[in-house]
Amino acid sequence: MRIVGLTGGISSGKSTVSNLFKAHGIPVVDADIVARNVLKKGTGGWRKVVVAFGDDILLDNGEVDRPKLGQIVFTNPDKRQLLNRLLAPYISSGIFVEVLKLWMKGCKIIVLDVPLLFEAKMDKWTKPIIVVWVDSHTQLERLMARDGTTEEEAKNKINAQMSLDLKRTKADIVIDNTGSLEDLKERFSEVLIQVKKPLTWIEFGISRDGALLGFVSILFSIFICWKTMGGLIWKLEMFILLKTEAGLPITRSRPLESTEKCGPGSWSQRVQPGIDSFTSGWWSTFDIPCWKLCTLSVCPKKSSSEEKETSLQEENEEGKTEARRFSTRRINLR
């Protein structure tokens, strides 16, 4: 998921750019709307502001008189910092909730419209950062025309925020809005191409689809490991069961031959020292020759000469057994 940071100064045209994003189907989280909800009557932010600034900032219905509160904080830097400290946690959590809702909907690109993006240290969570910039003279004229305020009041509002020139140096993308609306739309179309470019692997990983894919991959890996280990354990249980039914001891009744054992001096020590400590420990409590351990994927198979020697020994044992049986039959016949 790509989280785009959008910021600018008062009367710079940031809201116009925000509306253009919405018109192109990209969801926008507006920090001003979140701040209004934070100051609604009865909320935690409302109670803290009333305690700090008094009941004089309230309307008859109990809601905060926003223009009056704005006049206080724009003319008093200490009051402005106090208000920001009181509301910052509530605004941040509100923005997080809105982003989480859009994440659950599967949105790939989200725009955070935050006037105090750098002041609130939220720029580190957004990439790219877009700054809507105008020169100071144009900004002052637009603000006076929009709010109908005096030049001094307009300057106080502008100076209460970080300067646009400083924000411009921190931006990844700068939209120059000193021209007409048509010029702004033309520049926005170029910015939109950059915003809509394919997601990086990290951006895809933190999206809803990427997170689901990662979760399924982890479950599949666990399943494969469980099936593999389950097969090895099943082979060991079957081997122990067969020895038990045959009346043979499960624990070691004799030392393994040097060609059989999986201990010091064996192939496992020469080639895979890590296997030696494992096979000479837990596995060595069972009377399991090396060819049996091979079926459990613990030790390597014997060489061809060792296999021939083993087969000859088995044939000799079978011959001796048949000879004993023949002798027993002759005795019985007599």
Tens digit of pLDDT for each residue in 180-213? Answer: 999 999 999 999 999 999 999 888 888 888 888 8
Q: 132-162 pLDDT, tens per residue? A: 999 999 999 999 998 888 888 888 889 888 9
**Residue 273 pLDDT:** 44
Residue 44 tokens read as 């935690």
- The C-alpha angle with vertex 64 and arms to 98 and 95, in degrees rounded to 5, equals 10
**Is 145 in the same domain as 273?**
no
What is the CATH classification number for the domain harbouring 63? 3.40.50.300
Pairing mode of beta strands 28-30, 129-133? unpaired
Considering the domain architecture, whether residues 169 and 183 belong to the same structural domain is answered as yes
CA-to-CA separations, 85 to 6, 22, 90, 92, 287, in angstroms, rounded: 22, 30, 10, 11, 73
Half-sphere exposure (Cβ direction) of 145: Cα atoms closer than 13 Å: 8
Task: State yes or no: pLDDT of 67 exceeds 90.
Answer: no
Co-location of 63 and 155 in the same domain? yes
**Which residue, 165, 199, 233, sits at the end of a domain?**
199
Do 52 and 66 lie in one domain? The reply is yes
DSSP 277-310: HHHTTTGGGB---HHHHHHTTSSPPPPHHHHHHH
Same domain, 140 and 215: no
Does 266 lie in the same domain as 120? Answer: no
Is there a single domain that holds both residue 60 and residue 193?
Answer: yes
Q: How many domains does the chain have?
A: 3
* Whether residue 38 is found in the same domain as residue 117: yes
Domain residue limits at 213: 207-243
Condensed to tens digits (0 to 9), the pLDDT of residues 83-111 reads 989 998 999 999 999 999 999 999 999 99
Instruction: Please tell me whether residues 94 and 158 are part of one structural domain.
Output: yes
Does the pTM of the predicted model rise above 0.75?
Answer: no
Same domain, 189 and 218: no
Identify the domain boundary among 144, 171, 199.
199
Instruction: Write down the residue that tokens 């935690």 correspond to.
Output: 44
**130 plus 273 within the same structural domain:** no
Q: What whole-number distance in Å separates Cα of residue 15 and Cα of residue 42?
A: 28
Mean pLDDT of the chain: 79
Same domain, 168 and 27: yes
